């Protein structure tokens, strides 16, 4: 159990002023990277929790704790098993030293991130101390710290408070990462396109089943089976377009083009089972869905400041 990262940010906009700088193998851990993003998001939203100057946020294998005071926020990212009592003691030590060295009023006029980069040396030194149990045993009064923690317990932030637009996150941080990259809400055009795609999928499925049944009647005609399977395959393509319209993926545009092309090929193969109007209708529905996939906007990510 360790202190992994600490940061000082301006409360009104989350601008990072100072932070720990040591590289660590855990920084490559996807769970840690997601917890780090949560910390950056919290640094921008501390104004939502002004009713408490001490808050905690559990995020899977890690926990985030922060203290807000006089326009500044002091945050720390630790293992979930790291005692909160020590985490807040760490933050108090960082806060006292920073306010002794710097006038908090000057932070209001700063425009560039990590303007107090030199303070990172003290953060690193304090971080090393709090990651050394032997050092803590001789320098801290655990009973006094525990008593203070019980008298002033931190407010525990829920997932819904941090992510009100998407609700609670799943237990898997990998899933959480993809859920954060989500589309903006459907407009009426998007809902119509989705409904038409589902309709086309249902029509192809019903027609495919009917053609296969005809194949059974006509002594297992291989041609009818091929046509029936093509109808069902086209049903799958329409449903896949619905998936691409609803869930963003990094390759959605080329996948959308490939799916549209497959729908067109299927319609050509099924030419003798379709009228020109039916073919045109299904191709237009596929084109409409592709247009929605291309134009539907993904919610922007928060800007990241790196050391």
Residue 306 has pLDDT above 50, yes or no: no
- Helices marked H in the chain: 30-45, 84-101, 120-130, 133-139, 142-151, 159-162, 173-180, 188-217, 222-246, 252-269, 276-295
Q: What is the pLDDT of residue 218?
A: 53
- Confidence tier at 16 by pLDDT (50, 70, 90): confident
The CA distance from 216 to 20, in Å, is: 71
Angle at 45 between CA 44 and CA 46, to 5 degrees: 105
3-state secondary structure 7-50: EEEECCCCCEEEECCCCCHHHHCHHHHHHHHHHHHHHHHHHHHC
Residue 54 bridge partners (DSSP): 67
pTM to 2 decimal places: 0.53
Residue 2 has pLDDT above 90, yes or no: no
What percentage of residues in the chain have a pLDDT greater than 70?
83
Question: For residue 37, what are the CA distances in angstroms to 43, 177, 304, 305?
Answer: 10, 10, 8, 10
- The fold for domain 3-180 equals Beta-Lactamase (3.30.450)
The CA distance from 163 to 153, in Å, is: 23
Q: What is the mean pLDDT of the chain?
A: 81
The CA distance from 179 to 46, in Å, is: 22
Question: For residue 281, what are the CA distances in angstroms to 26, 147, 197?
Answer: 53, 72, 11
Q: What is the pLDDT of residue 287?
A: 93
- List, in order, residues 6 or more apart from 289 with CB less than 8 Å away: 193, 194, 196, 197, 238, 241, 242, 244, 245, 256, 260
Q: Give the β-pairing of 3-10 and 72-79.
A: antiparallel
The CA distance from 282 to 269, in Å, is: 13
Domain coordinates of the chain in residue numbers? 3-180, 188-295
Neighbours of 284 (CB within 10 A): 11
pLDDT tens digits, one per residue of 272-294: 878 889 889 999 999 999 999 88
115: its two tokens: 């303007």
Position with higher pLDDT, 296 vs 183: 296
CA 274 to chain centre: 44
> Given the structure tokens 């060295």, which residue do they identify?
101
Over residues 178-190, the mean pLDDT reads 66
What percentage of residues in the chain have a pLDDT greater than 90?
21
Over residues 4-24, the mean pLDDT reads 83
> Given the structure tokens 């000082």, which residue do they identify?
8
pLDDT tens digits, one per residue of 214-262: 765 555 556 777 888 888 899 999 999 999 888 877 788 899 999 999 9
Q: What is the pLDDT of residue 196?
A: 93
Q: What is the pLDDT of residue 177?
A: 42
């Amino acid at each position: 159990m360790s202190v992994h990262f600490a940061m000082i940010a301006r409360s009104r906009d989350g601008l990072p002023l100072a932070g720990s700088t040591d590289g660590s193998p855990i920084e490559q851990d996807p769970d840690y990277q997601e917890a780090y993003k949560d910390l950056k998001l919290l640094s921008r939203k501390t104004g939502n929790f002004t009713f408490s100057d001490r808050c905690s946020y559990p995020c899977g294998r890690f926990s985030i704790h922060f203290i807000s005071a006089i326009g500044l926020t002091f945050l720390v990212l630790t293992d979930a098993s790291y005692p909160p009592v020590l985490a807040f003691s760490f933050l108090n030590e960082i806060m006292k030293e920073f306010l002794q060295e710097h006038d908090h009023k000057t932070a209001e006029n700063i425009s560039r991130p990590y303007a107090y980069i030199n303070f990172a040396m003290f953060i690193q030194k304090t971080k090393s101390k709090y990651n050394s149990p032997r050092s803590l045993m001789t320098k801290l009064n655990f009973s006094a710290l525990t008593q203070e923690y019980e008298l002033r317990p931190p407010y525990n932030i829920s997932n819904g408070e941090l992510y009100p637009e998407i609700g609670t996150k799943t237990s898997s941080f990998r899933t959480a990462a993809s859920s954060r990259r989500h589309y903006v809400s459907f407009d009426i055009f998007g809902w119509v396109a989705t409904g038409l795609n589902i309709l086309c999928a249902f029509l192809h499925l019903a027609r495919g089943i009917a053609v296969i049944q005809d194949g059974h009647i006509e002594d297992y005609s291989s041609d009818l089976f091929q046509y029936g399977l093509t109808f069902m395959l086209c049903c799958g393509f329409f449903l896949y377009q619905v998936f691409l319209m609803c869930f963003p993926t990094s390759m959605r545009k080329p996948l959308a083009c490939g799916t549209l092309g497959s729908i067109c090929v299927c319609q050509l193969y099924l030419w003798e089972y379709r009228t020109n109007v039916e073919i045109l209708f299904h191709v237009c529905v596929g084109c409409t869905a592709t247009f929605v996939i291309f134009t539907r906007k993904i919610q922007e990510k928060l800007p990241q400041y790196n050391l």
